[in-house]
Structure 1
Amino acid sequence: MIEATNLAYRIEKDSMGERQIPETAYYGIQTLRATENFPISGIKPLPTYIDACVLIKKATAIANSELGCIPQEIANAIVQAADEVLAGALRDQFVVDIYQAGAGTSHHMNVNEVLANRALEIIGDSKGNYQKISPNDHVNYGQSTNDVIPTAIRIGGLLAIGKTLNPALASAIATLTTKADEFQDIIKSGRTHLQDAVPVRLGDTFGAWAQILSEHQQRIQTAATDLTKLGLGGSAAGTGMNTHPQYRQRVAEILAQLINQPLQPAPNMMAAMQSMAPFVNVSSAIRNLAQDCVKISHDLRLMDSGPKTGFKEIQLPPVQPGSSIMPGKYNPVMAEMTSMVCFQVMGYDSAIALAAQAGQLELNVMMPLIAYNLIHSIEILGNTLSALTRQCILGITANSDRCLAYAEGSLALVTALNPHIGYLNAANVAKESLATGKSLRQIVLEQQLMSEEQLAKVLDLEKMSTVNG
């Protein structure tokens, strides 16, 4: 609940009655009621989600003025108010908890009221004088929560991907590719089932990670195309009631220009308003990326484990002391943080899936949860990849001697002997090596299974670790 500390109030009225609103507030009576009804988490709407909603209001004001639906002076004031918010003003006025009235009406009216009251000031009038500029009749002309909120989720998702996740992925891919080149001549033991496997090159490990992230970036971009089809203009139920016939096309064109995305009206407004499938699709792609990021972060921790009792094939840059009791200890904190964020993203995805199937008839009332979880997932995963790249991957160094020692000591080198002495003979050689401590080379020569010259060619680590094709 919002506690007013200013003794000056204005009186606002809605269909339920009158309430006092702090004179300094730009939100109005419907926002006040929502803050009283939903003191749930203290979490306020994400800045990107606010941007998305305000961009919609700017575009709709322009479209409706062009089409003669609202006066030009009022549209200009709404657009100016929207631009001020987009530039960072009045951000403390968006106050409704993210867990709120179904479909997002409370947040939607918070946006309408803030823009209306600021627009009133712009034309020289007083906040709350909604006869001049109304949150419902002007800022919200031709709109409904039911088409604005799913559109805001689409716009918010596109903004978050473009501003946060795509740059983070591009930086991570480029840095991993650079490390792949830097480490290409370093041979290490491969491991499968956490057991010794055939030798690989450290550079190829980093190159594989770069490829994995690149493919995820493509999957996310493909999924994001679903977000470019807008149900804006469907109004309350998808029929377009109270909208100009040209409105849906024009508002999509204006929004497309504002965010530089190929937006277009959805082929079926009712479908676009009812189905949350586009958000599930994008969330699934984000979750998929998170799962591989967990795998990469765990690999980094294993390869840096030690320093005396672990692999220690690489050194992650120490960024902070790792223990309150053990001096000189440094932990792989950036990789650990990455896993925690990814687990949260997976949890958000599960909540989105549950919310998406919970709609009935012409509306899904769980959209506020979907909006927060989807945009937040995109942004925290993007921020995580940026931090991991900057604070960890960029500064990784290789312990080439240790890598080579593991590669040379691996029993899995016996795999290269299979074509020459047969699987069973090779297995016996491995068993004897493990039991006696003798090298594979020594046992093969003692048993006269191969000549020394043949063996040198077969156990060539450089050749064994080169990727074919």
Structure 2
Amino acid sequence: MTAPSRIEHDAFGPVEIPSDRYWGAQTQRALGLFEVGEERFPTVLIRAFGLQKHAAARANVQCGALAPELAPAIEKAAIELHEGKWNDHFPLTIWQTGSGTQTNMNANEVIANRANELLGQPLGTRAPVHPNDHVNRSQSSNDSFPTVMHVAAAIEVNGRLRPALDELRSALAERSHAFADVLKVARTHLMDAVPMTMGQTFGTFERQLAHALARIDDALPRLLILPQGGTAAGTGLNAPAGFDSFFCATLTETTGLSFVPNAHKFEGMAAHDALVELSGALNTIATSLLKIANDMRFLASGPRCGLGELLIPDDGLTSSIMPGKRNPTIAEVLVQACFQVIGNHQTITIANASGNFELNVAKPVLVYNLLQSLRVLADSSALFARRFVRGIEVDREQLATNLDRSLLAVTALNPVLGYDRVAQITATALRERITPRAAAIALGFLDGDEYGRLVDPAKLVAVNISKR
């Protein structure tokens, strides 16, 4: 049985569209043309289009470029789009014209059809609200789509990524404080080194997260600079004077983010350096998180035949074949998310470098990967903080055993005995499978009391901290 449909007309003639769909002729034509992949824009980009079209309608009224009687219906439809009401009416994949024209037209058509419905007209009439003449007034895909790219990215940074990273930083700081007096063996080159505390290990992780937050804060101001008003090529053709300022003022009021017009709109349309900068920060953060997650799961390896110094929280999952096996699954999720972000950065870098003359034409793939990076990095960081870091404990007995067997606390004897004699102690202890204390006594370099006074790991760590 054939589903009911309606006929819409555009400049190229009639188009048959499912009767319950709010998209129009251009979107339907694109559906039949771009049959590539299944990747679709995340809803944050679609909802950002609602903000963009709402701000454009307001700016057009303020500039006298849009009839005041049409504006309320367009604005209401745009806000509904921002609220997520029309997400299901964006059927296109990201594989489309490199300027994002088809998704911009999809937004124009959905808003026009909904506005006409609000004005008592059936879908497909294109009157009194026209998708190009009214919803897209004073705009082009070439300045609207990059504006939406910036808006969506800024919203995700401010509303999703930053809170997640701050939550993880806080969780790491809390664990650092909790483990401040827990002694352990440091490891360099994967080998035993001098004593330190587990608090210092987690303090290092917390410091990396503090820098991560600073990096995205550094990138955010350039995300707030928008090319809207540049229209087709950056000259501002068909955009009335003041449109860009009115547009940014409305967007700032709506989002709480301080958006400003790009004074050189050619730059904002031809290149997306600000987005690559943000992706670069995400790439750096991903390497930080990858190191943190790997360190934690190696320190927790075991429980009997690994390092076994950390005790990870039980996530309720186990092996399909080994009963009772517990794995660091949450850490593995974060690691995989980091892999994705690092790979996405390569795509984003190439996409930005492939712009030609006055327009970058790899916008859809660039923003798709950037928004994916923001989402998975935020979600996995928050999950890691809540379900992994906050529940981590230490195995004090295992740590004490490892510390007692460690050779290189004797490095503290260098100023007393000299490097060569200390090297004899470590070599003897390793060869004879005895403690460094026993080796020092056997070699006649120190008695037990002297060794205990000079090589007390707790005092060594405390002295080192006080010197700093």
Question: Offset of 1:353 from its aligned partner?
Answer: 0.4
Q: Do the aligned partners of 1:197 and 1:412 also contact (CA within 8 Å) in 2? A: yes
Is 2:19 aligned against 1:6?
no
Q: Do the aligned partners of 2:47 and 2:84 also contact (CA within 8 Å) in 1? A: no
Q: SS at 2:383's partner residue?
A: helix
Is 2:371 aligned against 1:378?
no
Distance 1:382 1:435, change over 3 A: same
Q: SS at 1:81's partner residue?
A: helix
Distance, in Å, in 1 between the alignment partners of 2:117 and 2:2 is: 22
Q: SS at 1:19's partner residue?
A: strand
Query: Greater CA deviation, 10-19 or 185-194?
Result: 10-19
Is 2:39 aligned against 1:40?
no
Q: Do the aligned partners of 1:359 and 1:366 also contact (CA within 8 Å) in 2? A: yes
Distance, in Å, in 2 between the alignment partners of 1:205 and 1:445 is: 32
Partner of 1:173: 169
Mind listing any 5+ residue stretches in structure 2 that lack a counterpart? Answer: none
Q: Do the aligned partners of 1:105 and 1:145 also contact (CA within 8 Å) in 2? A: yes
Question: Offset of 1:365 from its aligned partner?
Answer: 0.6
Aligned partner letter, 1:458: L
Distance, in Å, in 1 between the alignment partners of 2:22 and 2:412 is: 74
Distance, in Å, in 2 between the alignment partners of 1:104 and 1:286 is: 24
Distance, in Å, in 1 between the alignment partners of 2:2 and 2:165 is: 45
Partner of 2:303: 307
Question: Offset of 1:430 from its aligned partner?
Answer: 0.6
Q: Do the aligned partners of 2:95 and 2:364 also contact (CA within 8 Å) in 1? A: yes
Aligned partner letter, 1:165: L
Q: SS at 1:362's partner residue?
A: coil
Alignment equivalent of 1:402, drawn from 398, 402, 424: 398
Question: Offset of 1:131 from its aligned partner?
Answer: 3.3
Is 2:124 aligned against 1:145?
no
Q: SS at 1:189's partner residue?
A: strand
Q: How does 1:385-464 map to 2 (within 5 A)?
A: 385-464=381-460
Aligned partner letter, 2:418: G
Question: What is the RMSD computed on CA atoms of the aligned residues?
Answer: 1.3
Question: Offset of 1:223 from its aligned partner?
Answer: 1.1
Alignment equivalent of 1:252, drawn from 235, 248, 251: 248
Q: Do the aligned partners of 1:186 and 1:404 also contact (CA within 8 Å) in 2? A: no
Distance, in Å, in 2 between the alignment partners of 1:221 and 1:41 is: 34
Aligned partner letter, 1:29: A
Alignment equivalent of 1:262, drawn from 231, 239, 258: 258
Q: Do the aligned partners of 2:48 and 2:82 also contact (CA within 8 Å) in 1? A: no
Could you give the per-residue CA deviations for residues 187-229 of structure 1, whole angstroms, max 9, x where no partner exists? 1111111100111111111111111111111111101211111
Q: SS at 1:103's partner residue?
A: coil
Question: Offset of 1:421 from its aligned partner?
Answer: 1.0
Distance, in Å, in 2 between the alignment partners of 1:228 and 1:180 is: 35
Partner of 2:183: 187
Aligned partner letter, 2:3: N
Question: Offset of 1:451 from its aligned partner?
Answer: 4.5
Q: Do the aligned partners of 2:300 and 2:306 also contact (CA within 8 Å) in 1? A: yes
Distance, in Å, in 1 between the alignment partners of 2:161 and 2:94 is: 22
Question: Offset of 1:43 from its aligned partner?
Answer: 2.4
Question: Offset of 1:445 from its aligned partner?
Answer: 2.2
Q: SS at 2:187's partner residue?
A: strand
Distance, in Å, in 1 between the alignment partners of 2:442 and 2:78 is: 83
Question: Offset of 1:99 from its aligned partner?
Answer: 1.6
Partner of 1:154: 150
Partner of 1:211: 207
Q: Do the aligned partners of 1:45 and 1:95 also contact (CA within 8 Å) in 2? A: no
Instruction: Name the TM-score, length of structure 1 as normaliser.
Output: 0.97
Q: SS at 2:305's partner residue?
A: coil
Question: Offset of 1:112 from its aligned partner?
Answer: 0.6
Distance, in Å, in 2 between the alignment partners of 1:47 and 1:440 is: 61
Question: Offset of 1:282 from its aligned partner?
Answer: 0.2
Query: Greater CA deviation, 43-52 or 358-367?
Result: 43-52
Runs of 4+ in 1 over 3 A off after TM superposition: 450-454
Q: SS at 2:434's partner residue?
A: coil
Distance, in Å, in 2 between the alignment partners of 1:188 and 1:427 is: 22
Partner of 1:353: 349
Q: Percent identity at matched positions?
A: 35
Distance, in Å, in 1 between the alignment partners of 2:385 and 2:31 is: 40
Aligned partner letter, 2:443: Q
Distance, in Å, in 2 between the alignment partners of 1:140 and 1:173 is: 43
Could you give the per-residue CA deviations for residues 155-184 of structure 1, whole angstroms, max 9, x where no partner exists? 011110112111111111111111111111
Q: SS at 2:9's partner residue?
A: strand
Q: How does 1:257-296 map to 2 (within 5 A)?
A: 257-296=253-292
Aligned partner letter, 1:255: L
Distance, in Å, in 2 between the alignment partners of 1:338 and 1:144 is: 39
Q: Do the aligned partners of 1:183 and 1:203 also contact (CA within 8 Å) in 2? A: yes
Is 2:321 aligned against 1:331?
no
Distance, in Å, in 2 between the alignment partners of 1:295 and 1:6 is: 54
Aligned partner letter, 1:215: H
Q: Do the aligned partners of 2:43 and 2:84 also contact (CA within 8 Å) in 1? A: no
Question: Offset of 1:92 from its aligned partner?
Answer: 0.4
Q: Do the aligned partners of 2:116 and 2:127 also contact (CA within 8 Å) in 1? A: no
Distance, in Å, in 2 between the alignment partners of 1:413 and 1:268 is: 60
Could you give the per-residue CA deviations for residues 83-125 of structure 1, whole angstroms, max 9, x where no partner exists? 2122221210011101211110011111111011000011111
Q: Do the aligned partners of 1:230 and 1:265 also contact (CA within 8 Å) in 2? A: yes
Q: SS at 1:465's partner residue?
A: helix
Question: Offset of 1:438 from its aligned partner?
Answer: 2.0
Partner of 1:91: 87
Q: Do the aligned partners of 1:313 and 1:402 also contact (CA within 8 Å) in 2? A: yes
Distance, in Å, in 2 between the alignment partners of 1:446 and 1:419 is: 20
